[in-house]
A and B are shown apart, each in its own frame.
Chain A
Amino acid sequence: MHSVPPDPGWTASPICSGLICGRHRVYFVLPLIIGTALGTKVNLSPHVAAVIGLGVAYSGFLSETVRAGLRSVSYGQTESALSLGMSGFTALRRIVLPQAVRRMLPEAVNQLVSLFKSTTIVSLIAVQDIMYQVSMISVAEMRPVPLYTGAALLYCIVIILATQLFQRLTERWRRRGWA
């Protein structure tokens, strides 16, 4: 477990700085940096900021998953593919990736579910998702109990169903073919 080389800074940084901080940073800071670079004023819409923020934050996690998947295919296979005269890219595409992707799938599904849960945070920069609507309605109605309980149960059910569904789908894909 501890034979893995130390992470390069890029993988460590989005993992380690909190998600919400990443989100706010993209929403507030990125337009300013781009604006300074271009010499004009740029505004990202909250949707774009949310997508970029979540994407950047999860790219760090996913790169770790991909790295683990690629490392799990033994290096002898690459070597023998190379000795057969395949180019590096062909060996990667034909030999390593088909096996690596199948091993990455369960973890990638976990990441997807986790990403889905993190999307609740985008309500903080006024993207109108479920939590945003719920907090708006409960402010208007002054009755938080049923609304928040309902939202919690809704998320719980949707995520459990989605997890089951993804596991079924990827199970079939993992069993098919060479793996």
Chain B
Amino acid sequence: MSPLVDDVALVLAAQQGSDAAVRDLLAQVRPAVLRYALARLGRRDVAEDVTQEVCLAVLTGLSRYEDTGRPFRSYVFAIAAHKVADAHRATYRGAVAVADVPDGPDDSPGPEEQVLRNDEARAAHALLDTLPDDQRELLLLRVAAGLSAEEVGAVLGMSPGAVRVAQHRALNRLRAVAGGAR
């Protein structure tokens, strides 16, 4: 699954002005960014806005992006991590737009329920929330964004080996919490 398009060729074509390449690039980037944003933000509306912002920022920076051995998806998720952090601050620090408050009782499912449909996923979300931020971020880049250990390393400034060790520790921590809850 996840047949990775040849990032380098596609990015090059996009830089050279191929509309089709830009679209293919966005089509590839977008679902992964949205998954990550949904996982980090838990709200579809905010996550979609952030995803749009990330896509625009990716395109804006495309001409400056040089393939210096840093994988393209690391470049994308370095942007995504910043945008999500901004949105998280804006959304959860009491800066929720007034327009988001419904006029009357709202019988639609809550934001988290809209994003996560099954109990296991909600449990996973809650479990991940017990992790320290850096471990959680690392696992979300792997699980939600779908990056490789190498790509995560390039986002977080770690060696791939350090990523592998850190993700193992994070998983063990989750196992301990899950085991304790059982």
Verify that A and B bind, or say they do not: no
